[in-house]
Structure 1
Amino acid sequence: MTTTDIRAPEKYVGRPVDRLDGPAKTTGEARYAAEHHYPDLAYAALVHATIARGRITAMDTAAARAVPGVIEILTHENAPAMKPAPKVSLLDISTMASGTSVNYLATDEVHWNGQPVAVVVAETSEVARHAAALVRPAYQELPAVVDFAAEEPNAAPQKSSMLAETSADKGDAHAALATAQASVDLRFTTPPHNHNALEPHATIAVWDGDRLTVHEGTQNFGWLRKHLAKRFGVPERNIRVVSPFVGGGFGGKGMVWAGTLLAVLAARATGRPVRLALTRAGVNHTVGGRTASTQRVALGADADGRLTALIHTSVSRTGRIGGTPEQITSASRHLYAAPNIHLRQHLVQLDLLANTSMRAPGESIGTFALESAMDELAWELGMDPIELRMRNEPERNPVDGKRFARRLLREAYAVGAERFGWRERDPRPGAMRDGRWLVGMGVASAYHPSWKLPASVTVRLSADGGVEVRCAMHEIGVGAATVQAQIAADELGVPLEAVRVRYDDSDLPLGAMAGGSMQTASVAESLLAACRKLKQSALALARRAADSPLRGRRLDELEARDGGLHHGASGETYAEILARAGRDHLEAAIKSGALGMVGMLRERRRWVKAACGAQFCEVRVDPDTGEVRVSRWLGVFDVGRVINVKTTASQLRGGIVMGIGLALTEETQVDPRTGRIMNAGLAEYHVPVHADIPHIDVHCLDEPDPTMPLGLVGVGEVSITGVGAAVANAVRHATGKRIVDLPITIDKLL
């Protein structure tokens, strides 16, 4: 991004404001979930099952109990009972909070390899982990289904819901494909992925009678608090969740997983505050990740490159004990103007840990298949891949004819092609070289839907000019509090340094979850309403005074600036208004309830709202070893109005980095015989490091979406979409080889 993205020096929205939490994080002052201290704090460690399915027949804890410092060992034989997880209901979406349906330590059943079957509580974390290694469960093994590839033929159609449509038919896509002048028909596979956030999952649980305090890195205050209330049989008001900082989430901290529940259970059983910090392997074995998938994309076109048929089908998996289906064919509903479309999603259930959301769930792997197929069709036609996409850019949503709220994909490609030097690309495969390296350039479209959920916000204006914004939201590394402070400062016309955002506690008004790229827009909508309500209250106070320059004025005639309300050269500061009225503060609250969900669904029936963009990738491939290096990247995005240039650029780059990992290195390896994750740690699960990533250039069109608060759309997930395909398409250009199975490893190119 460049300084030309800044709108006006007197406004904060649109400027590259430094993150307000930056000093705390860079100096070590920030405390994460595992870093809080309580008197008499105890430490817990998990014992994991080593079979995929069966029953525990014995639990030998004698050696573990003999270790000095062990306080208690909880198993299904002695653990206090928790209430079972509630059944999922779309009438109460908080019921979706449960990572799995397993009632931990309340049954002798084992449902996946890695399931926690015991908890050791000790005086130190070292003693707890040592003793956990000495616990010896015995099992009766039962037949288990853990091999995704073998089970794929048994997949069943995925059901649609209010939140996700899983099938579509328009015209007769199969007949159109059969008669198309040009066509491609490809099968793609993507592997499972696991969450490896910088901060592994950790919980500190403290009971005081029937009151519970939980320190937890969470992406969803509301769901976590409601879920704990249901599972432990206490009123929701008795539960306080504290989460000032989250060291990365990406979806893995949006649900409630075993570690959280068992920390709370251990604290109740021992009467001590308990800290349970998962190891890297523990995260892999107890926190869901991205599903594996197989996909078919078949495209038909006429000789001019106009699509006549688009077929996209998928098979993915959930666990038998839960899981979140992914919207793999989502982008295929929206990106291309084909007259004949057939979309289907299928599921298999396996005896594995439930899968869950992982950055752009569905779209990240779905766009790999769709955009790779579009690129292959361009090769088939002898056409530039950007030109092919532009010839099929729709005026309305292809499946149902809905209007786009705003769509600037053409503009993104035009800007990107110019900035990236696309005209310098030799279209012949393998024709571009840099010394001994083969050079390839690829493009792909990025796409992610825009969401907005209810959020409650309170804004307090003090007589000294200070503003406090209160909203229980989540700082998962995105600068959430910073952008809301910018919005409040502009709306109230006060300096940014006068605004304090309190966001870290479930006792505050409840905001939206940090997921689906929705938190900023959801909170901003309520914050704007609260600020307007506050200004209206200030104006009402001012108009009571006969000598007030605001007397007789309406709010829409006034400008909020210089710490008050003004009309031209006349006006009053908030401090002056409050002093005259004898008030020390004003407060405005917006409570957003269940109707917000109804409103969102109503909007989705009217509009198609989404962030989109164009991904440009350059790779170098060693012709002898097959080594692939990403050498240059540009992403041009239509994400609505940019609230903070710096944090937006950071989010977009982060998504691209994660997408490069998806394309080249990341793969969870599951033993098809035992269901055991074989690379449950960063030594064997390879995420990109600095040496793998070139400078990433990002650019935003910065055009507001008129249907969204402040015109913003959401940036957290769109930038990972299309990345896998852009890399694969660049590799195809460099080598002539179409790789359809991720990750793109050396063996697939030799």
Structure 2
Amino acid sequence: MSTATTTPASAEKSAVGTAHTRVEGRDKVTGAARYAGEVPFADLAHGWLVLSTVARGRIRAVDHEPVLAMPGVLTVLHHGNAPRLDTDFVGLLGSRPDPTCAVFQHDRVPHMGWPVALVVAETSEQAREAAEALVVHYASEPHDVAFSGGRTDAYPADGHMPAVTDKGDLDTELAASAAVVDAVYTTPEEHHNPMEPHAATARWDGGRLEVVDSNQGTTWVRGELANLFSLDPAAVRVLSEHVGGGFGSKGVRAHQVAAVMAATLLQRPVRVVLTRRQMFSLAGYRSPTTQRVRLGCDADGRLRALEHRSLSLTSTVHEFVEPSAAVARAMYDADAHHTANRVVRLDVPTPTWMRAPGEAPGSFALESALDELAERCGIDPIDLRLRNEPEKGPVSGLPFGSRNLRACFHEGARRFGWAERDPRPGLRREGRWLLGTGTAAASFPAGAAPSTAVLTAEPDGSFTVRIAAADIGTGARTALTLVAADALRVAPDRVRVRIGDSDFGPAMIAGGSMGTRSWAWAVTAAAGELRERLDLGADIPPEGVTVRSDTSAAVGALAQRERHSFGAQFAEVAVDVTTGEVRVRRMLGVFAAGRIVNPLTARNQLVGGMTWGISMALHEEAVRDTASGGHVGADLAGYHVATHADVPLVEADWVDDPDPDDPVGIKGIGEIGIVGAAAAIANAVWHATGVRHRDLPIRPDRVLAAGQGAARA
């Protein structure tokens, strides 16, 4: 027997709030950390997905016999021989599964890149060669992939929130306004492209299904697989120790389900890895949007009317909504306040969550419109926003837990040098470069979901935390180490955090900026109970002392207030008048994001989001060929993202943001960094050139065309 000791809080420096390098950092940079596609298995077979080459129709035949005769090929799965799946269920996230992941169940092809077969072979090279040789015959049908704001078949769609909200008489308030903006903004289709591709290995071990996967929530994936294959959840284990990025794309996809099918048939481990090109069809994406924003204000700049209507697309097999109009429901109030999210069904893959779903494209439209209104009113853009700070949720009517947007703008303006800015556009010049600055506000909800944590006091005086969290590059492992250390009142080096195992109990996914917040709540609760037991002098047996916490009951109290992270984005750009090139020279983001657990990884997340904002504003654009229904350039050569040369000085910081009624004080920072970033850049381009860009990305050809149009006008 031994006794673990904890230290009184007054005698121990707080770990939370101090910079701490990643606890798994050495393993990652030395290659010791293994990702899903490189975990070794004995007798491993490899599967390669075959995707449809038509955008709509039926499969007439799969010529699998010649492929089965190729070297190393073990089997070919398709709709004619695959096991049946159960898709009649509502999953962990409150929706039915996307049929795209329920592979090989019928002969219908609803979009280009639909999974039609899986070839399994002894090696990955053999599987790929055979998959590329497989001949599939189709009965092709006319398809429709043309997205535009003029679609008459669009309809309101709820998603995870009401499709429509409205109060007041919009037309009356617009007519009585001293200044009005009525504009349409568009954003293109965008793709996640995490550095680590989607990969999964499935095997049966003693009658239990084990899946080693790259995902954003092992609880989520275990539940979906158990439902799809009609298994007891206890008979499924999902492991996801290291994840090289997700951004919303790493949920349940075709490759995991196909791997389980093949492993079940062959009774040996089977690995399926998506190629970069396949990810463009199978990993989800951000829908393009067309958004109409109408704003009206009085002579003092106070909003009388606000309308934000957004149109996005979804597939014909599963409904997903990009809720871009939702950002207006938290940011600004008006006497007449109307928002609506609508979708149109097309013959395309199903979109999915992508970093700040809704808020990222929605903030581009809303914050660009606010900038246009400031110009028409002759009011400073920051001043206009601060004049319209709501006292409570514009739609919910709930009080804010904390809303320190004003402090973000004040601190950001001071550091950025906003006071020296001449508001008139097109005046600053360095040779052929026109210079401009812009700003925008940001917000993202701060929610929480039930999670379970298991803590053990070990005989050697250390502590082990087990929770089915996912670290997708955010530093969650390190953050939870610091949270646990403070809750236990011990140094961080006495705490070991184990994550990414569905056997640890249910836990929130790494998504919606709710992961660390939800997990920290559970860890804190378990640590408090364990500390009480140890403080009473409990002996530590060889197996340790273990407690388990579940925060299901406590999470419900959050609904009493509206909780968001907020931020102020600033950008300076240079625009080449001869080539149309836009260069971001510097960016600054100041955020109110609750309690910052680890400043080192927090700043990393915020800067990463802002960098993605540069990509969104100037580069990212997936283009569909309406004739074929597929992508043009579905790879990282044709799909441009910001690189080192595009990202000069990007700074992120935060202001104090206490919420005395919040049990953990953590709000989440994974998504707030991208919100408003593209709008700040677009507003800076207007300030540099005097020309407003309402369509992303702001490509050189668009800059030149807009400049020529302005010159003719």
Q: TM-score, length-normalised on structure 2?
A: 0.95
Paired amino acid for 1:244: E
The residue number in structure 2 matching 1:514 is 510
The residue number in structure 2 matching 1:495 is 491
| Counterparts of 2:57 and 2:101, CA distance in 1 | 14
| Counterparts of 2:323 and 2:661, CA distance in 1 | 24
Within 5 Å, give how 1:280-319 maps onto structure 2. 280-319=276-315
Alignment CA distance shift 1:65-1:381 (3 Å): same
| Counterparts of 1:590 and 1:393, CA distance in 2 | 39
The residue number in structure 2 matching 1:627 is 581
The residue number in structure 2 matching 1:453 is 449
Matched, 1:691 2:645: yes
After superposition, the C-alpha distances for 1:284-338 in whole angstroms (9 at most, x for unaligned) are 1111111111000011111221111111101111111114212211120121232
Matched residue SS, 1:411: helix
Equivalent residues of 2:521, 2:551 under 8 A apart: no
The residue number in structure 2 matching 1:331 is 327
Tell me which of 676, 686, 689 is aligned to 1:732. 686
Equivalent residues of 1:102, 1:321 under 8 A apart: no
| Counterparts of 2:151 and 2:629, CA distance in 1 | 16
Matched, 1:166 2:166: no
After superposition, the C-alpha distances for 1:146-204 in whole angstroms (9 at most, x for unaligned) are 21128722111123x6x413322121122211221111100011111112000010111
Paired amino acid for 1:715: I
The residue number in structure 2 matching 1:585 is 544
Matched, 1:405 2:360: no
Within 5 Å, give how 1:77-96 maps onto structure 2. 77-79=80-82, 81-88=83-90, 93-94=92-93, 96=95
Matched residue SS, 2:457: strand
After superposition, the C-alpha distances for 1:694-750 in whole angstroms (9 at most, x for unaligned) are 121111113222233331111000111001111110000001111111111111111
After superposition, the C-alpha distances for 1:199-218 in whole angstroms (9 at most, x for unaligned) are 01011111236321111011
Equivalent residues of 2:218, 2:500 under 8 A apart: no
Paired amino acid for 1:272: R
The residue number in structure 2 matching 1:186 is 183
Give, in angstroms, the shift of residue 94 of structure 1: 4.5
The residue number in structure 2 matching 1:360 is 356
The residue number in structure 1 matching 2:148 is 149
Alignment CA distance shift 1:59-1:400 (3 Å): closer
The residue number in structure 2 matching 1:718 is 672
Alignment CA distance shift 1:495-1:394 (3 Å): same
Give, in angstroms, the shift of residue 275 of structure 1: 1.0
| Counterparts of 2:517 and 2:44, CA distance in 1 | 39
Equivalent residues of 1:147, 1:673 under 8 A apart: no
Give, in angstroms, the shift of residue 270 of structure 1: 2.0
Matched residue SS, 1:403: coil
| Counterparts of 1:210 and 1:649, CA distance in 2 | 45
Matched residue SS, 1:520: helix
| Counterparts of 1:124 and 1:48, CA distance in 2 | 20
| Counterparts of 1:443 and 1:749, CA distance in 2 | 20
Equivalent residues of 1:189, 1:294 under 8 A apart: yes
Give, in angstroms, the shift of residue 619 of structure 1: 0.5
Q: How many pairs are equivalent?
A: 695
Matched residue SS, 1:528: helix
Q: TM-score, length-normalised on structure 1?
A: 0.90
C-alpha root-mean-square deviation of aligned residues, in Å? 1.8
Question: Quick check: 392-401 or 182-191, which moved more?
Answer: 392-401
Matched residue SS, 1:666: coil
The residue number in structure 2 matching 1:213 is 210
Equivalent residues of 2:296, 2:305 under 8 A apart: yes
The residue number in structure 2 matching 1:48 is 51
The residue number in structure 2 matching 1:428 is 424
Give, in angstroms, the shift of residue 97 of structure 1: 6.9
| Counterparts of 2:589 and 2:127, CA distance in 1 | 47
Identity %: 44
Give, in angstroms, the shift of residue 436 of structure 1: 2.4
| Counterparts of 1:8 and 1:38, CA distance in 2 | 48
Equivalent residues of 2:526, 2:547 under 8 A apart: yes
The residue number in structure 2 matching 1:611 is 565
| Counterparts of 2:11 and 2:395, CA distance in 1 | 40
After superposition, the C-alpha distances for 1:20-52 in whole angstroms (9 at most, x for unaligned) are 010111111110001011111111111110111
The residue number in structure 2 matching 1:550 is none
Alignment CA distance shift 1:132-1:150 (3 Å): farther
Equivalent residues of 2:92, 2:223 under 8 A apart: no
Give, in angstroms, the shift of residue 101 of structure 1: 5.5
Matched residue SS, 1:486: helix
The residue number in structure 1 matching 2:221 is 224
Within 5 Å, give how 1:9-24 maps onto structure 2. 10-24=13-27
Matched, 1:176 2:173: yes
After superposition, the C-alpha distances for 1:441-472 in whole angstroms (9 at most, x for unaligned) are 00000110111000001111123211111111
Alignment CA distance shift 1:411-1:53 (3 Å): same
Within 5 Å, give how 1:341-420 maps onto structure 2. 341-420=337-416
Within 5 Å, give how 1:519-598 maps onto structure 2. 519-540=515-536, 542=537, 578=539, 585-593=544-552, 595=553
After superposition, the C-alpha distances for 1:528-584 in whole angstroms (9 at most, x for unaligned) are 1111111221233x3xxxxxxxxxxxxxxxxxxxxxxxxxxxxxxxxxx637xx787
| Counterparts of 1:112 and 1:583, CA distance in 2 | 57
Equivalent residues of 1:210, 1:234 under 8 A apart: no
Give, in angstroms, the shift of residue 231 of structure 1: 1.5
Alignment CA distance shift 1:533-1:281 (3 Å): same
| Counterparts of 2:211 and 2:583, CA distance in 1 | 44
Equivalent residues of 2:12, 2:489 under 8 A apart: no
Matched, 1:706 2:660: yes
Question: Quick check: 95-104 or 659-668, which moved more?
Answer: 95-104
Paired amino acid for 1:519: G
Equivalent residues of 1:642, 1:702 under 8 A apart: no
Matched residue SS, 1:329: helix
Matched, 1:475 2:496: no
Give, in angstroms, the shift of residue 353 of structure 1: 0.8
| Counterparts of 1:400 and 1:479, CA distance in 2 | 33
Give, in angstroms, the shift of residue 399 of structure 1: 2.7
Give, in angstroms, the shift of residue 274 of structure 1: 0.8
| Counterparts of 1:205 and 1:451, CA distance in 2 | 33
| Counterparts of 2:175 and 2:94, CA distance in 1 | 45
Matched, 1:195 2:192: yes
The residue number in structure 2 matching 1:26 is 29
| Counterparts of 1:210 and 1:178, CA distance in 2 | 70
| Counterparts of 2:92 and 2:205, CA distance in 1 | 29
